[in-house]
Chains A and B, each alone.
Chain A
Amino acid sequence: MSAAKSAVRSGGGHDEGDDVGVATGQAVAGTRSVAGTRGPVLGAPLFEYLLRLGDDRLILGHRLSEWCGHGPILEEDIATANMALDLIGQAASLLQLAGEAEGQGRDEDALAYFRDGVLFRNCLMVEQPNGDFGQTMMRQFLFDAFSVLQWEALAQVSHTGVAAIAAKSLKEAKYHLRHSSGWVVRLGDGTAESQARVQRALDSVWRFTGELFGRDAVDDAVAALGIPVDQAAMKSGWDAIVDEVLARATLVRPADGPMQRGGRTGRHTEHLGHLLATMQIVARSHPGARW
């Protein structure tokens, strides 16, 4: 994880991600051109960036909370609940900060419960259904390795709000990584069945890993606001962690095939809508209510 230090650097080229337009001006009614922007139009960069950080944790925390009471062993019911709590706690802080950055009076609950799917900015990986416990832990491991590096980088940025959340979250993410990588190794190097299952889980989720290290206009813009992160350096740090754990797990790292992207700009998989339908149903059924 020493790659993290060098990840705090602005720069790094854009990858082949979405062509993103950052909002610049308003069309005047009546004079609006039929020729629109290619790709989705995003909000202010800091707001967008904080949503990306917060939504990753909110959606993954929600997915983990679906395990509540259904884990393979009692100890794991406790552990997954613990990770879910940490992630949703991080999300609450990040979305609160996002609301402040937006400056329109939305708090973390308004952002979590009253946004439609296309306005969510989480990566596609975290919204994928849990599958079996092996699939859940594999997704968790790949995200945790990313998350530790991301928090390490963000803990050193000059934006104090982000740096403070990162410092606290880093401790939690390191514990999560220890837990999830432990399971990846145990399942990979367990029985023939567990190895086959968890290898399939890895092969299946791999197509969502490229999106974690994408860089676009939002990243460039927040670098200028004191949040510079070098995605390329993070990627090499992530490769090192993943290779080391997969080797111990006797699992084969998949070849980098075509990668699925779109979450950062609101182009999600179909799974997110169903997740939000569940998550938001009570809050949306009682607009304006306090809970």
Chain B
Amino acid sequence: MEQKPIPGADDPALIAAFEARIASGESIEPKDWMPERYRKQLTRMMSQHAHSEIVGMLPEGNWVTRAPSLRRKMSLIAKVQDEAGHGLYIYCGAETLGVDRHDLFNQLLNGTAKYSSIFNYPTLSWADMGVIGWLVDGAAIVNQTVLAKTSYGPYARAMVRICKEENFHKRQGYEICATLASGTPAQQAMLQDAVDRIWWPSLAMFGPSDKDSPNTGELLRWKVKRKTNDELRQRFVNLTVPQAQAIGLTLPDPDLTFNAETKNWDFGEIDWAEFFDVIKGNGPCNRERLEARNTAHDDGQWIRDAATAFAAKHAKRGVEAP
């Protein structure tokens, strides 16, 4: 990923003018001058986001062929399809920062790029399709609603559009959960088991605690991020606990209590050792996810070669491609 150095990258006057624009609430557009650090941070965030959409297709794709009704099968396929669309959209957004999406994609394939840790957990029952929609998409929405106000214009606009679809996914997921919750004892047990497995990893989706998040200060100053990880995590917990109560679920945290003073739901400590282990590549499915992406890519090589060869032949002959 070679980004062209911008003239005057470290010019204090340019940086001051840039920060003044940010402070006054202007959005930064692709052709505007921006500090290299800003460009790098956004490239990192947007590519991680796009990768997460793409890898996120796998755990849900795992249940497409086993969805228990035609309606659920269709809505799950549509959801996974939306995720591919989001990935494509955000890769294109990242390209406005002067990178090539194929380079970003190669970083995903060779394991040097990160993606959301949640997708390194396995999907073990149909209930996971409900709980992922409810909790994982729910957490993503809390993050992305704030990102829709990020200072970089293309990312902000992408988030506005994506949030609409994510909201739909979340409602759909919660509806699956509500149906299971009022279903047979086996369905209820399946649901509770999924919540027990997915609750903590979905809290970890907001990233490290603020005290261990080295980038946060700068990102907040430049309005790339608008809230800290811990603020967003708390907002998610506050939103989600009543939803769990409404359908009679317990959340696997004995420390979960309502704090009358702060009006927050206090919760227990995240297992950070596990979090960093998954980030480092040692989660239950890291290897499987990357292998699946690489297999798809390698198996598709002859297809892409053929399409390229065909296009080249027909450009030469001046014949319209099919």
A residues apposed to B, CB below 8 Å: 58, 62, 65-66, 68-75, 77-78, 81-82, 84-85, 88-89, 91-92, 95, 108-109, 112-113, 132-134, 178, 181-182, 185-187, 189-191, 193-194, 197, 248, 278-279, 281-283, 286, 288-291
Asked if B73 and A71 sit within 8 Å, CB to CB, the answer is no
Q: Is B268 an interface residue (CB 8 A)?
A: no
Q: How far is the CB of A224 from the nearest CB of chain B, in Å?
A: 30
Q: How far is the CB of B182 from the nearest CB of chain A, in Å?
A: 8
* Neighbour of B179 across the interface among A187, A190, A291, CB < 8 A: A291
Q: Is B124 an interface residue (CB 8 A)?
A: no
Query: Closest chain A residue to B105 by CB distance?
Result: A74
Complex-state Cα separation, A89 to B70, whole angstroms: 8
A77-B57, A82-B81, A278-B65 given. 14 additional CB < 8 A pairs?
A65-B64, A69-B296, A73-B303, A73-B304, A77-B81, A78-B85, A81-B77, A81-B78, A108-B70, A113-B69, A185-B322, A248-B322, A281-B66, A291-B69
Query: Closest chain A residue to B184 by CB distance?
Result: A289
Interface centre among A62, A82, A191, A248 (most CB of B within 10 A): A191
13 A-B contact pairs sorted by A residue (CB < 8 Å): A62-B65, A68-B77, A70-B295, A72-B303, A74-B87, A78-B88, A89-B74, A181-B322, A182-B322, A187-B306, A190-B305, A193-B305, A279-B65
Q: State whether A133 and B299 are in contact (beta carbons under 8 Å apart), knowing that A282-B126, A289-B183 are contacts in the complex.
A: yes
Complex-state Cα separation, A66 to B322, whole angstroms: 26
Asked if B61 and A133 sit within 8 Å, CB to CB, the answer is no
Asked if B80 and A291 sit within 8 Å, CB to CB, the answer is no
Contact residues of B between 299 and 317, Cβ < 8 Å to A: 299-307, 309-310, 313
What residues of B have a CB within 8 angstroms of the CB of A71 in the complex?
296, 300
Asked if B57 and A189 sit within 8 Å, CB to CB, the answer is no
Complex-state Cα separation, A71 to B87, whole angstroms: 14
Q: How far is the CB of B38 from the nearest CB of chain A, in Å?
A: 27
Q: How far is the CB of A135 from the nearest CB of chain B, in Å?
A: 11
Asked if B307 and A190 sit within 8 Å, CB to CB, the answer is yes
Q: Is B290 an interface residue (CB 8 A)?
A: no
What residues of B have a CB within 8 angstroms of the CB of A181 in the complex?
322
Complex-state Cα separation, A71 to B253, whole angstroms: 39
Asked if A66 and B65 sit within 8 Å, CB to CB, the answer is yes
B residues apposed to A, CB below 8 Å: 54, 57-58, 61, 64-74, 77-78, 80-81, 84-85, 87-88, 91, 126, 176, 179-180, 183-184, 186-187, 292, 295-297, 299-307, 309-310, 313, 321-322
Q: How far is the CB of B72 from the nearest CB of chain A, in Å?
A: 6
What residues of A have a CB within 8 angstroms of the CB of B77 in the complex?
65, 68, 81, 84-85, 88
* Neighbour of A91 across the interface among B64, B70, B297, CB < 8 A: B70
Asked if A69 and B306 sit within 8 Å, CB to CB, the answer is no
Q: How far is the CB of A194 from the nearest CB of chain B, in Å?
A: 3
* Neighbour of B292 across the interface among A69, A91, A248, CB < 8 A: A69
What residues of A have a CB within 8 angstroms of the CB of B301 in the complex?
72
Asked if B68 and A282 sit within 8 Å, CB to CB, the answer is yes
Instruction: Give the 8 A-B CB pairs with smallest separation, nearest first.
Output: A72-B300, A190-B306, A194-B306, A69-B57, A69-B61, A81-B81, A68-B61, A182-B322
What residues of A have a CB within 8 angstroms of the CB of B299 in the complex?
70, 72, 132-133
- CB contacts between A and B, total, < 8 Å: 147
For the residues of B in contact with A, the DSSP-based class is: helix
Complex-state Cα separation, A236 to B158, whole angstroms: 48
Asked if B65 and A65 sit within 8 Å, CB to CB, the answer is yes
What residues of A have a CB within 8 angstroms of the CB of B91 in the complex?
74
Complex-state Cα separation, A79 to B140, whole angstroms: 25
Complex-state Cα separation, A231 to B310, whole angstroms: 35
Interface centre among B69, B183, B303, B321 (most CB of A within 10 A): B303
What residues of A have a CB within 8 angstroms of the CB of B305 in the complex?
190-191, 193-194
Q: How far is the CB of B101 from the nearest CB of chain A, in Å?
A: 9
* Neighbour of A134 across the interface among B58, B64, B88, B303, CB < 8 A: B303
What residues of B have a CB within 8 angstroms of the CB of A73 in the complex?
300, 303-304
Asked if A133 and B69 sit within 8 Å, CB to CB, the answer is no
Complex-state Cα separation, A38 to B139, whole angstroms: 61
Complex-state Cα separation, A82 to B78, whole angstroms: 8
Asked if B88 and A68 sit within 8 Å, CB to CB, the answer is no
Complex-state Cα separation, A51 to B302, whole angstroms: 37
What residues of A have a CB within 8 angstroms of the CB of B313 in the complex?
189
Q: How far is the CB of A261 from the nearest CB of chain B, in Å?
A: 27
Asked if B69 and A283 sit within 8 Å, CB to CB, the answer is yes
What residues of B have a CB within 8 angstroms of the CB of A89 in the complex?
74
Complex-state Cα separation, A192 to B302, whole angstroms: 10
What residues of A have a CB within 8 angstroms of the CB of B126 in the complex?
282, 291
Q: State whether A133 and B65 are in contact (beta carbons under 8 Å apart), knowing that A189-B313, A291-B72 are contacts in the complex.
A: no
Q: How far is the CB of B192 from the nearest CB of chain A, in Å?
A: 15
Asked if A78 and B73 sit within 8 Å, CB to CB, the answer is no
What residues of A have a CB within 8 angstroms of the CB of B321 in the complex?
182, 186
